[in-house]
C-alpha cells in the first residue's frame, strides 16, 4: 500500500480532530475494505471487519509510534480484524458461494489497470481463483503475495507456527496456479 497518510494528518487525528479522521478514513478505506473482502469473501463480514479495524486504529492511534508506515500498520490491524472475524463466523459454505455473485459485481474497480481490458480480465480470473481457494490457504496467500507480509507476521496473525504458515502459502500458491492455468496445472 502506498503511504497516503501524512504525519501531519496523523498528528491531527491523535489530537482528536474529527475532520482529520474523516480525511484519513477516506484515504484508506478502500484498501482496508478490499483486504477484508479478499480474506472473508462476504461483503457484510468485510464491512464489519473494516469497522472493527478502524475502531482499533482509533483507539491505538496514540500508541502508534511510527516504526512502520501508518498504512502498513493499518493493514496489520485490518488483517487481524478480518482473521478474527473469519474465526468467529459460523456460516455455511453455501452462503459463501452464494455471495460470490454479489462480490463479482463489485470486483475489481481497478485503478491501475483501468482501460486495459485484457489485464483486468486476467485479474478477475485471479480474483475468482482466490475466492475459490480453501479459507486457510486463501488468507495466507493473500497476506503474503498480495500484501507482502512476512511469514512470521502471517504466522502471528493466523496463530500458527512459521513452518505451518510457509506450508499454507506454498500449498495455496500451488492450488492457485492449478486453477489459473488449468490445462497445464497437473502436467508433470
Partner 1 sequence: MNCGDLRGRMASYESGAEPTRREVRHLSRCKECAQEMARYGLLAESLEELSSQVVMVPAALEAALIAIPSAARPRLRAAVVVTHLRRNRRSYASGVALALTAGAATWATRSRRLEAA
* Helical (H) or strand (E) element with 33: helix 18-40
Q: Which DSSP symbol is given to 30? A: H
How far is residue 111 CA from its own chain's centroid? 17
CB-nearer residue toward partner 1: 92 or 111? 111
Which runs of E-coded beta strand occur in 47-164? none
The yes or no reply on residue 116 touching partner 1 (CB under 8 A) is no
Interface residue with partner 1 among 6, 98, 106, 163 (CB under 8 A) is 106
Q: Tell me, by CB under 8 A, how many residues bind partner 1.
A: 53
Q: Per CB under 8 A, which region of 83-91, 92-100, 142-150, 157-165 contacts partner 1?
A: 142-150
Q: Which of 32, 33, 28, 35 is nearest to 141 (CA)?
A: 35
CB-nearer residue toward partner 1: 73 or 92? 73
Q: Which DSSP symbol is given to 89? A: -
The yes or no reply on residue 70 touching partner 1 (CB under 8 A) is no
Min separation Cβ 72 and partner 1, Å:
12
Span 17-36, contacts to partner 1 by CB under 8 A? 18, 21-22, 25-26, 29-31, 33-34
Interface residue with partner 1 among 108, 128, 136, 156 (CB under 8 A) is 108
Own/partner pairs, 114-123, CB within 8 angstroms, 24+ separation: none
Q: From CA 20, how far away is CA 30, in angstroms rounded? A: 17
Q: From CA 73, how far away is CA 67, in angstroms rounded? A: 9
Which runs of E-coded beta strand occur in 65-185? none
Q: Interface with partner 1 by CB under 8 A: which residues?
A: 1, 16, 18, 21-22, 25-26, 29-31, 33-34, 37-38, 43, 47, 50-51, 54-55, 58-59, 106-113, 119, 122-123, 126-127, 130, 141, 145-148, 166, 170-171, 173-174, 176-177, 180-181, 184, 187-188
Amino acid at each position: 500500500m502506498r503511504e497516503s497518510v501524512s504525519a501531519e494528518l496523523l498528528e491531527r487525528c491523535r489530537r482528536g480532530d474529527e475532520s482529520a479522521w474523516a480525511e484519513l478514513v477516506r484515504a484508506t478505506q478502500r484498501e482496508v475494505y478490499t483486504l477484508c473482502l479478499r480474506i472473508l469473501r462476504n461483503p457484510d463480514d468485510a464491512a464489519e471487519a473494516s469497522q472493527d479495524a478502524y475502531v482499533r486504529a482509533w483507539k491505538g492511534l496514540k500508541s502508534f509510534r511510527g516504526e512502520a508506515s501508518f498504512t502498513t500498520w493499518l493493514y496489520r490491524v485490518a488483517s487481524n480484524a478480518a482473521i478474527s472475524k473469519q474465526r468467529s463466523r459460523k456460516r455455511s459454505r453455501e452462503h459463501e458461494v452464494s455471495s460470490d455473485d454479489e462480490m463479482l459485481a463489485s470486483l475489481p474497480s481497478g485503478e491501475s489497470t483501468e482501460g486495459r481490458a485484457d489485464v483486468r480480465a486476467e485479474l478477475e480470473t485471479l480474483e475468482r481463483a482466490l475466492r475459490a481457494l480453501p479459507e486457510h490457504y486463501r488468507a495466507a496467500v493473500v497476506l503474503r503475495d498480495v500484501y507482502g507480509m512476512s511469514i512470521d507476521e502471517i504466522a502471528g496473525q493466523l496463530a500458527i507456527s512459521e513452518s505451518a504458515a510457509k506450508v499454507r502459502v506454498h500449498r495455496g500458491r500451488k492450488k492457485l496456479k492449478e486453477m489459473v492455468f488449468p490445462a497445464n496445472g497437473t502436467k508433470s
